[in-house]
Amino acid sequence: MGVYFKDIIGQKGVVGQLRRSVDENRLAHALLFTGPRGNGKLAIAVALANYLLCNNRSGDVCGNCPACTKLDKFIHSDLHFVYPVKKKKGSSSDTAPISDDYITEWRELLSKSAYFSYDDWLQKLDVENQQPMIYERESSEILHKLSMQSREGGWKIVIIWLPEKMKEACSNKLLKVIEEPPKDTLFILVSEEPEKIIPTILSRTQRVEIPRISYEDMENALEKRMGLSYDDAKTIAQQSGGNWEKAEEMLSLSEEKARYLELFMQLMRVAYARNIRDMKAWSEEVAAMGRERQKRLLDYCQRMIRENFVMNFKDDSIVYMSQAERNFSVRFSPFVNERNIFGIMEELSEAQRHIEQNVNAKMVFFDMSLRMIVWIKNR
């Protein structure tokens, strides 16, 4: 199914403003959607594009016209998506990938939900040691697509998801077309870290700050979409802090995050037991995962350490963990306290820095796990 304004969780103020801008023909030609994670930025961008491209819109898309039929499958010829991608195995070093190389994976993820995270996309791409980027070649593709007439006789729309991942050469090539696009052309940039976008791109867009999802809207969505009871929806809404991605994460662990939880539990157990043989095996297993997954694992470990520290304050409203994570943390949290939390976090951060610097992964993780013995025992 496509994404309509009615599908957006909350955000009535932003949606109403965008709808009026379209209806009154005063929509800027380049928009930058930003704000906290999990607030529905991408979903709003897709819903706005669908509203513009629908042949019979009236407050929302009609859902029945030929354009809507294509939009529901994300195959409308005048709606173009740009997003970070990885180089395919076996490709030459000078052959940069473009978004269309991964359009099948993109449509599959969007079809499930427009509220997915960057981690969801990395898992879909199955990255190993690569950092997905928007390469310079993408700019040529965009310029070529926009040079042609609209196939449906209306708007041409480009949604750039995570423009902060654009190579500088790509950004520079797009400057002029973003500043002076062809008639009835709209750019929507959806950013998690706008401060990393080059200033010349930022200055050519109209910024739309999208707030966190309100507590009430989050609670209603959890009841209606997830089928939660009133009490459970209320608890998750409170703990998620207006972040739908976090709310979904709290309800269930993805396959990848379940693996990270298992590795985190193994690390803490072998460190407590001072089992050097198992520690070495753990380090070798993690070293074989690929650098992007290693970095995400270290991110996950840092989050779990923070959550376990907070859990000691006995206030469920400030603890953001799934049930599986809580089951382990009930007994583990006393091992994370004011005497060792900073040391543990520094060890994890240092390991992350070394992985980013391409230091030998086996050495990094074995050394980190050895140091973890001291901190876990220091309680």
Interval 128-137: pLDDT, tens? 667 889 999 9
Fold classification of 5-209 (topology level): Rossmann fold (3.40.50)
Is the per-residue pLDDT at 378 higher than 80? no
User: Residues 288-298: what's their mean pLDDT?
Assistant: 88
Q: Tens of pLDDT along 182-218?
A: 888 999 999 999 999 999 999 999 999 999 999 999 9
- Of the pLDDT bands very low, low, confident and very high (cuts 50, 70, 90), residue 323 is confident
Using a 10 angstrom Cβ sphere, with 0-12 exposed, 13-18 middle and 19 or more buried, the burial of residue 231 is: exposed
Domain residue spans in the chain?
Answer: 5-209, 214-251, 252-377
Mean pLDDT of the chain: 89
What are residue 74's phi and psi, to 5 degrees?
60, 40
Residue-level pLDDT at 90: 63
Cα angle, residue 195 at apex, residues 194 and 198 outer, rounded to 5°: 90
Q: Tens of pLDDT along 36-94?
A: 999 999 999 999 999 999 988 888 888 889 899 999 899 999 999 999 998 877 665 56
For residue 40, give Cα distances in angstroms to 14, 15, 30, 53: 11, 11, 19, 20
- Of the pLDDT bands very low, low, confident and very high (cuts 50, 70, 90), residue 1 is low
For residue 216, give Cα distances in angstroms to 136, 219, 231, 239, 251: 43, 5, 13, 13, 18
Which residue type, as a one-letter code, is found at position 153?
Answer: G
Residues in contact with 170: Cβ distance below 8 Å, sequence separation at least 6, in sequence order: 134, 135, 136, 137, 138, 139
Is the per-residue pLDDT at 126 higher than 90? no
- Distance of alpha carbon 214 from alpha carbon 39, whole angstroms: 9
Lowest mean pLDDT among 74-83, 110-119, 139-148, 233-242: 233-242
Which CATH class name applies to 252-377? mainly alpha
Q: Is 40 helix (H, G, I), strand (E, B) or coil?
A: coil
Q: Tokens for 231?
A: 């009490």
Q: Tokens for 173?
A: 């090539």
* Contact yes or no for 61/22 (Cβ under 8 A): no
Residue-level pLDDT at 254: 64
Is the per-residue pLDDT at 322 higher than 80? no
Q: Is 4 helix (H, G, I), strand (E, B) or coil?
A: coil
Residue-level pLDDT at 363: 95
As a whole-number percent, the residues of the chain with pLDDT over 70 amount to 96
Q: Which of 286, 327, 295 is nearest to 308 (CA)?
A: 327
Is the per-residue pLDDT at 350 higher than 80? yes
Is the per-residue pLDDT at 23 higher than 70? yes
- Distance of alpha carbon 44 from alpha carbon 13, whole angstroms: 12
In the sheet that holds 206-209, the strands lie side by side as: 79-82, 156-161, 185-190, 30-34, 206-209
Q: Tens of pLDDT along 212-223?
A: 999 999 999 998
Residue-level pLDDT at 268: 96
- Of the pLDDT bands very low, low, confident and very high (cuts 50, 70, 90), residue 297 is very high
Please tell me whether the overall predicted TM-score, pTM, comes out greater than 0.85 for this model.
no
Residue-level pLDDT at 311: 93
- Of the pLDDT bands very low, low, confident and very high (cuts 50, 70, 90), residue 353 is very high
For 125, what's the count of Cα atoms within 13 Å in the CB-facing half-sphere? 27
Residue-level pLDDT at 80: 94
Is the per-residue pLDDT at 123 higher than 90? no
- CA dihedral over 63, 68, 71, 73, signed as positive or negative: positive
Residue-level pLDDT at 250: 74
- CA dihedral over 289, 294, 300, 306, signed as positive or negative: positive
One DSSP character per residue, 195-210 reads GGS-HHHHTTSEEEE-
Q: 208 pairs with which residues across the strands?
A: 33
Residue-level pLDDT at 309: 96
- Distance of alpha carbon 134 from alpha carbon 163, whole angstroms: 8
Q: Is there a shared CATH topology between the 5-209 domain and the 252-377 domain? A: no
- Distance of alpha carbon 225 from alpha carbon 222, whole angstroms: 5
- Distance of alpha carbon 68 from alpha carbon 61, whole angstroms: 7
- Distance of alpha carbon 223 from alpha carbon 315, whole angstroms: 23
